[in-house]
Amino acid sequence: MKIEIDTHTHTLVSGHAYSTLKEMAESAAEKGLKGLAVTEHAPDMPGSTNVFYFQNLRVVPRKRAGIELLLGAELNILNEAGELDLPESVLSLLDITVASIHRPCYKGERDKVTITNAYIHAMENPYVDIIGHPDDSRFPSDYEILAKKAKETGTLLEVNNSSLSPVTFRENARENILKMLFCCKKYGTGIVLGTDSHVDETIADYSYAEELIREADFPKELIVNASLEKLKASLKRAKKL
Ligand SMILES: [Zn+2]
Ligand SMILES: [Zn+2]
């Protein structure tokens, strides 16, 4: 399976990742990618960077090592209302965003109805492009509702390769992702494969995710980041232009 752009990666800036932007871009180029999204943890993640980092991204050239960089953020979904930890004035400056629930940042009930609402409200945000790792039984959600809402709002759902790794903290990712893929197939919802790399070596490694894509007999045309151009055209911010 050919994936042209990895849509979810972190550099040293995120505080618990281990490579520089230069190392990440070079690794992506070596692995044959055409593009790389660098999605640093937004400011509420302990140890990550501040709002000025995201505001200043205009100074960074978007071509490096012969590939295209999309610079953005992995936002924290904070509560049932789907509030995020960067304002829309900053989100509008970014190339791409992933919005995820993280244990240290989420303040709210953790039952299925509340978490599903949190994702729904985040998807209604005109600057949320991708929902990151909605696959963790510690934050249970209703995949029928998620897949339908994602289709309706033009939000992409992520199959996160790191969630499937033996060293993950996330629970029941395998069975949750299979349920999600089944629902995305049913509603024609677009997905992305993201590695969630915190070190350059793991960029473009989708080995666990690909196994589930095969098992679910998932349609290739719904894997949006198989093509860099298709991914860019699918971002909500691109559709607004
Ligand atoms: Zn995350
Ligand atoms: Zn991440």
Cα 4 to middle of ligand 2, angstroms = 19
Find out whether 104 and 45 touch, Cβ atoms under 8 Å: yes
Find out whether 174 and 206 touch, Cβ atoms under 8 Å: no
Ligand nearest to the CA of 197: 2
Find out whether 24 and 9 touch, Cβ atoms under 8 Å: yes
Ligand nearest to the CA of 196: 2
Cα 133 to middle of ligand 1, angstroms = 7
Q: Are strands 67-76 and 63-64 parallel, antiparallel or unpaired?
A: antiparallel
Find out whether 139 and 101 touch, Cβ atoms under 8 Å: yes
Cα 12 to middle of ligand 1, angstroms = 15
CA nearest 169: which of 80, 103, 100, 73? 103
Q: Which pLDDT score is estimated for 142?
A: 98
Cα 153 to middle of ligand 2, angstroms = 22
Alpha-carbon torsion 49, 123, 230, 206, what sign?
Answer: positive
Enter the DSSP assignment of 154.
T
Cα 122 to middle of ligand 2, angstroms = 16
CATH fold of 5-240 reads: TIM Barrel (3.20.20)
The helices-and-strands tally (H runs, E runs) of the chain is 9, 8
Q: What is the pLDDT of residues 115-168, one digit of tens each?
A: 999 999 999 999 999 999 999 999 999 999 999 999 999 999 999 999 999 999
Cα 200 to middle of ligand 2, angstroms = 13
Cα 102 to middle of ligand 2, angstroms = 9
Q: What is the pLDDT of residues 57-116, one digit of tens each?
A: 999 999 999 999 999 999 999 999 999 999 999 999 999 999 999 999 999 999 999 999
Q: Is the pLDDT of residue 240 over 80?
A: no
Ligand nearest to the CA of 132: 1
Sequence-separated (6 or more) residues with CB below 8 Å from residue 88: 125, 126, 127
Q: What is the pTM of this model?
A: 0.98
Cα 110 to middle of ligand 1, angstroms = 17
Find out whether 191 and 210 touch, Cβ atoms under 8 Å: no
Cα 196 to middle of ligand 1, angstroms = 7
Q: How many CB atoms lie within 10 A of CB 240?
A: 9
Cα 102 to middle of ligand 1, angstroms = 6
Cα 183 to middle of ligand 2, angstroms = 23
Q: Which pLDDT score is estimated for 1?
A: 80
Counting beta carbons within 10 angstroms of the beta carbon of residue 178, is it exposed (0 to 12), middle (13 to 18) or buried (19 or more)?
A: middle
Q: What is the pLDDT of residues 173-216, one digit of tens each?
A: 999 999 999 999 999 999 999 999 999 999 999 999 999 999 99
Sequence-separated (6 or more) residues with CB below 8 Å from residue 202: 161, 162, 195
Ligand nearest to the CA of 194: 2
